[in-house]
Amino acid sequence: MNCPTETLYNEGVRLSFEYWEVSQDVTAYLAQDGVTYDGELETIITQKWLASFLVGFEGWYDFRRTGLPTVIVPGPDNVNDDRVPVRFLYPDSEQTLNSENFDAAVSEIGANDINIKGWWEE
With contact defined as beta carbons under 8 Å apart, do 15 and 29 qualify? Answer: no
Could you read off the pLDDT tens digit of each residue along the chain, which spans 122 residues? 567 999 999 999 999 999 999 999 999 999 999 999 999 999 999 999 999 988 889 998 999 999 999 988 898 999 999 999 999 999 999 999 999 999 999 999 899 999 998 777 76
In whole angstroms, give the CA distance from residue 7 to residue 103.
51
* Amino acid residing at 88: F
Asked if omega into 69 is within 30° of 0 (cis), the reply is yes
Burial class of residue 23 in the structure, from the number of CB atoms within 10 Å of its CB (0-12 exposed, 13-18 middle, 19+ buried): exposed
With contact defined as beta carbons under 8 Å apart, do 47 and 32 qualify? Answer: no
In whole angstroms, give the CA distance from residue 7 to residue 67.
25
With 0.85 as the threshold, say if the pTM is over it: no
Closest CA to 90 of 107, 78, 106: 106
Distances (CA, A) of 45 to 22, 31, 110: 19, 17, 32
